[in-house]
Structures are given as structure tokens and as C-alpha cells.
């Protein structure tokens, strides 16, 4: 017997024992009523003897049933309980069949027909309950009915002979029904155990998947940090060289190298976006936005690419106003546009905005690209899923773009729909809440040139390459640079030079399990001044991002774009010039500085790889 068959058998025994008290009580009360009914028509002493036999059988059966119900799980799994039960029903069936045999000659035909009807009812009840455990039906019904049926057939009375044959036929029909019921019960019990086993397997798979997600996050956190360090330093060195080089040929080479570094940076930023979403630290800050300003910015970003491919780019924002998060909505549309440009070789790309119901706006993006197969329509929204990229060409991204789009749309509660026909193109629809034109803020302003000459910046990092690259870049901007590998070294340097840093730029991970947040806090405490600070991290761990975002300092992610760092430092110097030294340090941007630097948003990944 297999393990599953053993479980099914023990479940049948459990169910029949649970029904046992009701069955025994019903048969006993029936015996009492029949005895009272026949008390004046049959020898009373014989009736009492038969009733005593019924009572003794009842007591024994109840004792066995109670013993089973009180037993522990291990005891119940012993093989004795099944035979005990059907031996009890066999004894009861034999006692019941003795009663009509003892007084057969004393009964009239009417009484014998009444007894036959009672026995037929008991067989029907036994078939209904005994189908759970077939031996209980057979051991009770066969000894109950067969002796009486045979006696009827041999009586010579036509009515009784017919009744005897009918009793045998009724027994056969109920046997057939009990067998079918028995099979159905076993199927149901088997399904129950299979479902339990399936749920256990699913629970196990879920635990494995959860561990895999945790392992993935840890791997991304560790691997991206280690890989970002040299990339971060390389970007800073390139920036310093570009500011010092005047030869056009060499500048062209430097620009090409910078493009390669930015492409790799885009891949890291996609991973970082997923980690931000996992960490739930991207905040949704809706504002009233003019659609045409956002659409014109997107058109300017992609016009050169579409012109080079000979694809028309048509943008129509109308006079519509959104009420949404400008950074996140632009991220969504930029991803979708980048996908369309990547996989459209001819025809056009169309981005437009129309009125929708209840004041909402319908943003539609349509392209005449290669389309998406119907069977992959849902898979393209999965993380790391790539279509038409079997070689895993990194220039086509990591397969995160549409996964990020869907999650950002869910975050902003914007319905997203996609229709695509392979070989003809793809259509996206996004419903964006409508805004109020009267509440649109005019935030347009020029970007002044940073006056950094003589401004003092303290850089804390335990990587010599990063320190040197930061020194070269900051000095090329005219800054005075102080370098330190830890908070202790920084405090020593400050004490020896008697120079107060105006801005601190610190790596998050430092030696001896220390971090930049603690280092900045120690320096501020020692100087008794809230020196503006920037924390630079390559860690994509969701837990780490939450820790850093809650520290009350500016956060930037490796590899840092030099132009963005230039802009951030300028803002901090500007706040100092306005006699508000705490302005920079009180800013916390949980989504990796996306709130202050729109350009930090990485180039989107391709639609058909996502």
C-alpha cells in the first residue's frame, strides 16, 4: 500500500467512526420501539432477551467508537480499527436477523411485510453511511436481509415470495450504489490529500522564491556596489579630462568614452529603479503639469534618434493639463518612447493626449514597429524578460523597462493597456488624472553658472581611485578639495589645516563597517555645524536604500553623472550664500535624487526585451 493509499484508508476509518454514534443510536432506538410495539403479541421473555443482545452489542460498539475518538493520531493509524468497526456491524446485523427468524411462524403476513419494510429502510441507511467504508455496509446488510429473504421465498406464500425476491433485488441495488459512493468518497479524499500536498509544495516553492528574491537583492547590492566603484571613478576622471582638454580630436574620443560609460550607467540605473520600487521608497508627488511642456521635452530627447533611423516622430499634447508626478510620469513615457524608437525601423511613432471620461486624460503611444507576439503579451511586463535578444546583448538593456513602467503606473494608480500585432506595431494607452490649468506653477528659470572658485569640499571615500578622481574633477571646477578615507582622518585634517569644509561628499560604505551617514554626523557634531552633505552609494539593497533615504541628507547613486553632481553642489553653495547652511542637509530624496535631478532618470530599456 502506497503512502497516499494508506492516508485515504485512515481517512475513511476516521469518517465512519465519526458517524458511528449516530448509526448505533438510531438502530438501538428502533429496536426499543419495535419491542414496545410487539410487547403484547410475542413472548415477552424472548423479546427482552433479543433486546438485551441489542443493548450489549450497542455498548460494545460505543466503547470501541469512544476508544478510537479519544486515541491519539499514532494510535488511530493502527490497523485494528477497521476490523473492529465491521465486526461490530456484523454482530448487529446478525442480532437483527435473529428477531424475525425466532418468531417467523407467529407473525401474520402483514407483520412480516412490515418487518421487511423496516429492514429495507435499514439497508438504505446502511448504504448511505457505509459507502464511506464498504465493509461496514456489507457486514451489516447481508446478514440482516438474506435470512429473511430466504425465509420469505421458502414460505410458499405468494406475497412473501415476491417480497423475498424484492428484498434481494433491493440489497443488490443498494450494494451497487454503495460501491459507487465508495469510489466517489475515495476520489474526494484523494483530491483532498493531493490538494494538501500541492499546497505544501506551493508553500515550499514560495519559500524558495522568497529566498531567491532576497538572494537577488543581496547580490545586486554587493555586485552593483563593487562594479559601480570603478565606473564611478572612471566617470569622474573623464569629466576632469574633458574640462582640461582642448584638442578636438581627443575631446571626441573622450566624448565617445563618456557615452559608453553613460550606457553602462543606464543599465545600473534600471537595476536601481527595481530596487527602489522593491524598497517602496519612491514617493508619488502629484502636481498640475502642462502636457505640452513634458511632450516637447520628450520630443527633443528622441528627435535625433528618429531622424537617424528615418522614422517620423509625431507629438500632439494639445492644451491638456495633467495632475501627476512629473518625474515618474516622464519616466514612464520615456521608457515607452525609447522602446518604440529601438524597434521601429520604418513608419512613425505617435504620442498624443486626448480627453477621457471624468476629466481624465488619455495618453496614447503608437508605433509601427515589429510588434509583440500574442503569447508574450504578459511576459514583456516581467522583470528580466527579453524578447528578440537571445544573445543577451547588453546594448538592449536588462529586460526591466516595461516591468518598471507597469509598477510605476500601479504606484500612480494609472490604468495601463497594451495592444500589439506582431509585425505591425504596438499601442499603449495610459489614463492620467486631469489637472487644473489655473494651478500650474511657473518653475522655469535659468541655470546660473556655478561660482565654485575657492569653495572648500571635503571628500570621504576609502577608495584611492575615487578620491583622486574627485580631486581632479572638483579642482577643475575651481574648488579646494580636502580628501579623507574616514571620519577620523577628516577630523584630523580639519584640525591640522584649520579649514572648515563648506560641503561634504561621502561614500556610503567605508572601512571597518562604518558608513558615510555616521561619518557626516560625527563631523557635524565635532564642528557644531550642519554642514551640507551628499551621500554617494552604489548599494541597491532595498533595506539599505530605506536607511539612507531616512538619514536627512542628499542621496546620489554611483556612477554619479558629473554634470548632476556639479548642479547639486552648486545648489548647496547657493544655499550657503543665502545664509541657510541647513538647506542642503535637510533635503531627503528617497528615490535616489530623482526628486531634484530629472536628468538622473536613466535611459529606458527596450520594450521587446522587457
pLDDT tens digits, one per residue of 222-243: 555 566 667 667 767 777 777 6
Q: How far apart are CA 273 and CA 382, in angstroms?
A: 14
What angle is formed at CA 284 by the lines to CA 282 and CA 286, rounded to 5 degrees?
155
What angle is formed at CA 22 by the lines to CA 18 and CA 26, rounded to 5 degrees?
155
Q: Could you name the CATH architecture of 456-597? A: 3-Layer(aba) Sandwich (3.40)
- 599 or 386: which carries more pLDDT confidence? 386
Contact of 430 with 363, CB cutoff 8 Å: yes
**Among the listed ranges 110-119, 156-165, 262-271, which one has the minimum average pLDDT value?**
262-271
Task: Give pLDDT, residue 299.
Answer: 87
Task: Give pLDDT, residue 457.
Answer: 92
Q: Could you name the CATH architecture of 287-444? A: 2-Layer Sandwich (3.30)
Alpha carbon 283 to chain centroid, angstroms: 21
Residue 321: pLDDT above 90?
yes
367-396 average pLDDT score: 62
Task: Give pLDDT, residue 168.
Answer: 92
174-179 contacts at long range (C-beta below 8 A, 24 or more positions apart)? 174/123, 174/124, 174/126, 174/127, 174/137, 174/141, 175/127, 175/137, 175/138, 175/141, 177/127, 177/131, 178/126, 178/127, 178/130, 178/131, 178/134, 178/137, 179/131, 179/134
Strand (E) or helix (H) holding 361: strand 361-367
Confidence of residue 595 (pLDDT cuts 50, 70, 90): very low
Look at the pTM and tell me if it is higher than 0.75: no
432-449 average pLDDT score: 68
Residue 117: pLDDT above 50?
yes
**Among the listed ranges 114-118, 230-234, 261-265, which one has the minimum average pLDDT value?**
261-265
528-547 average pLDDT score: 74
Task: Give pLDDT, residue 397.
Answer: 43
Which residue's C-alpha cell is 530599456? 605
390-398 average pLDDT score: 42
pLDDT tens sequence across 266-315: 556 555 555 555 555 566 778 898 999 889 888 887 888 888 889 999 99
Task: Give pLDDT, residue 389.
Answer: 47
563-587 average pLDDT score: 66
Contact of 365 with 335, CB cutoff 8 Å: no
pLDDT, the chain, mean: 78
Which residue's C-alpha cell is 536607511? 547
Amino acid at each position: 500500500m502506497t503512502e497516499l493509499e494508506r492516508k485515504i484508508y485512515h481517512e475513511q476509518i476516521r469518517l465512519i467512526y465519526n458517524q458511528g454514534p449516530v448509526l448505533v443510536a438510531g438502530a438501538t432506538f428502533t429496536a426499543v420501539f419495535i419491542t414496545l410495539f410487539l410487547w403484547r403479541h410475542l413472548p415477552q421473555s424472548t423479546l427482552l432477551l433479543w433486546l438485551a443482545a441489542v443493548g450489549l452489542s450497542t455498548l460494545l460498539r460505543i466503547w470501541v467508537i469512544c476508544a478510537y475518538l479519544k486515541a491519539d493520531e499514532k494510535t488511530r493509524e493502527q490497523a485494528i480499527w477497521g476490523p473492529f468497526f465491521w465486526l461490530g456491524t456484523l454482530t448487529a446485523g446478525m442480532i437483527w436477523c435473529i428477531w424475525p427468524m425466532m418468531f417467523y411462524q407467529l407473525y401474520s403476513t402483514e407483520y412480516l411485510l412490515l418487518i421487511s419494510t423496516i429492514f429495507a429502510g435499514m439497508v438504505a441507511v446502511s448504504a448511505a453511511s457505509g459507502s464511506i467504508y464498504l465493509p461496514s455496509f456489507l457486514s451489516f446488510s447481508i446478514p440482516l436481509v438474506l435470512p429473511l429473504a430466504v425465509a420469505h421465498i421458502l414460505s410458499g406464500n405468494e406475497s412473501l415470495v415476491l417480497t423475498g425476491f424484492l428484498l434481494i433485488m433491493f440489497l443488490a441495488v443498494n450494494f451497487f450504489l454503495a460501491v459507487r459512493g465508495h469510489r466517489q468518497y475515495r476520489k474526494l479524499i484523494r483530491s483532498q490529500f493531493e490538494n494538501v500536498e500541492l499546497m505544501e509544495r506551493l508553500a515550499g516553492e514560495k519559500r524558495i522564491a522568497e529566498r531567491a528574491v532576497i538572494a537577488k537583492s543581496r547580490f545586486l547590492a554587493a555586485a552593483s556596489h563593487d562594479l559601480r566603484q570603478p565606473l564611478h571613478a572612471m566617470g569622474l576622471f573623464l569629466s576632469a579630462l574633458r574640462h582640461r582638454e582642448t584638442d578636438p580630436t581627443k575631446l571626441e574620443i573622450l566624448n565617445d568614452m563618456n557615452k559608453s560609460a553613460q550606457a553602462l550607467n543606464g543599465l545600473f540605473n534600471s537595476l536601481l529603479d527595481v530596487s527602489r520600487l522593491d524598497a517602496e521608497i519612491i514617493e508619488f508627488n502629484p502636481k498640475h503639469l502642462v502636457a505640452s511642456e513634458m511632450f516637447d521635452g520628450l520630443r527633443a530627447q528622441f528627435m535625433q534618434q528618429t531622424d537617424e533611423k528615418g522614422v517620423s516622430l509625431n507629438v500632439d499634447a494639445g492644451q491638456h493639463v495633467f495632475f501627476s508626478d512629473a518625474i515618474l510620469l516622464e519616466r514612464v513615457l520615456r521608457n515607452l518612447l525609447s522602446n518604440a524608437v529601438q524597434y521601429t525601423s520604418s513608419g512613425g511613432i505617435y504620442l498624443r493626449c486626448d480627453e477621457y471620461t471624468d476629466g481624465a486624460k488619455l495618453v496614447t503611444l503608437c508605433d509601427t514597429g515589429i510588434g509583440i507576439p500574442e503569447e508574450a503579451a504578459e511576459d514583456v511586463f516581467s522583470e528580466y524578460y527579453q524578447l528578440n535578444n537571445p544573445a543577451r546583448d547588453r546594448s538592449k538593456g536588462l529586460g526591466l523597462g516595461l516591468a518598471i513602467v507597469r509598477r510605476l503606473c500601479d504606484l500612480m494608480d494609472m490604468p495601463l493597456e497594451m495592444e500589439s500585432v506582431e509585425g505591425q506595431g504596438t499601442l499603449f494607452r495610459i489614463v492620467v488624472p486631469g489637472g487644473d490649468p489655473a494651478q500650474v506653477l511657473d518653475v522655469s528659470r535659468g541655470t546660473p553658472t556655478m561660482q565654485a572658485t575657492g569653495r572648500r569640499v571635503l571628500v570621504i571615500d576609502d577608495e584611492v581611485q575615487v578620491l583622486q578622481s574627485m580631486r581632479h574633477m572638483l579642482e577643475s571646477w575651481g574648488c579646494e578639495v580636502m580628501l579623507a578615507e574616514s571620519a577620523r582622518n577628516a577630523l584630523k585634517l580639519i584640525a591640522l589645516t584649520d579649514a572648515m569644509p563648506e560641503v561634504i561628499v561621502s561614500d556610503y560604505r567605508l572601512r571597518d563597517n562604518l558608513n558615510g551617514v555616521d561619518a557626516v554626523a560625527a563631523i557635524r557634531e565635532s564642528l557644531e555645524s550642519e554642514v551640507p552633505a551628499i551621500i554617494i552609494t552604489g548599494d541597491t539593497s532595498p533595506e539599505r536604500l530605506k536607511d539612507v533615504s531616512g538619514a536627512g541628507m542628499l542621496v546620489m547613486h554611483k556612477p554619479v553623472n558629473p554634470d548632476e553632481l556639479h548642479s547639486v553642489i552648486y545648489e548647496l553653495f547657493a544655499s550657503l550664500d543665502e545664509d541657510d547652511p541647513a538647506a542642503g542637509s535637510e533635503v531627503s530624496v528617497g528615490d535616489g535624487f530623482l526628486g531634484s535631478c530629472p536628468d538622473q532618470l536613466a535611459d529606458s530599456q527596450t520594450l521587446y526585451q522587457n
